[in-house]
Amino acid sequence: MRILVAGGAGFIGATLCEKLLLQGHIVVCVDSLHTGREQAVDRLRAFKGFSFFQQDIAKIPCFDAAMPLDQIYNLASPASPLWYQKDPIRTIETNVIGTRNLLDLALRHGASLLLASTSEVYGDPEQKPQREDYWGNVNTTGPRACYDEGKRCAEALVSAYRSQHQIDTRIARIFNTYGPGMRCDDGRVVSNFITRILGGQAIDIYGDGRQTRCFCYVDDMVEGLIALMDSDCSTPVNLGSDHEISITELAHIIGRMLNHSVVINHCPALTDDPRERQPDLEKCRRVLDWQATTSLEAGLQKTVASFEQMRQEDARQIQSYD
Question: In CATH, what number is assigned to the domain containing residue 12?
Answer: 3.40.50.720
Q: What local confidence, expressed as pLDDT, does residue 186 receive? A: 86
Q: Is residue 190 part of a domain?
A: no
Q: Could you tell me the mean pLDDT of each successive run of 10 residues in the chain, 322 residues long? A: 96 97 97 90 93 90 76 94 90 96 96 97 95 95 94 98 98 97 89 93 93 97 98 98 96 94 91 92 97 97 92 62 54
Q: Is residue 194 part of a domain?
A: no
Which alpha helices (H) appear in the chain, and where do they start and end?
11-22, 38-44, 81-84, 88-109, 145-165, 189-198, 218-229, 247-258, 282-287, 296-321
- Which one, of 15, 170, 36, lies nearest residue 94 by Cα? 36
Give the chain's domain count: 1
Q: Is residue 321 part of a domain?
A: no
Q: What is the DSSP string of 189-245?
A: HHHHHHHHHHTTPPEEEESSS--EEE-EEHHHHHHHHHHHHTS---S-EEES---EE
Q: Is residue 112 part of a domain?
A: yes
Q: What local confidence, expressed as pLDDT, does residue 185 receive? A: 86
Q: Is residue 318 part of a domain?
A: no
Q: Is residue 251 part of a domain?
A: no
Q: What local confidence, expressed as pLDDT, does residue 311 receive? A: 79
Q: In three state form, how does the secondary structure of 158-200 look? A: HHHHHHHHCCCEEEEEECCEECCCCCCCCCCHHHHHHHHHHCC
Q: Which domain holds residue 225?
A: 2-179+216-241+277-294
* pTM recorded for the entire structure: 0.94
Q: What local confidence, expressed as pLDDT, does residue 319 receive? A: 55
Q: What local confidence, expressed as pLDDT, does residue 39 receive? A: 87
Q: What local confidence, expressed as pLDDT, does residue 95 receive? A: 97
CA 119, CA 154: separation in Å to the nearest integer?
13
Q: Is residue 91 part of a domain?
A: yes
Q: What local confidence, expressed as pLDDT, does residue 244 receive? A: 96
- Residues recognised as catalytic: 147
Q: Report yes or no: 102 and 71 within 8 Å, Cβ to Cβ.
A: no
Q: Is residue 223 part of a domain?
A: yes
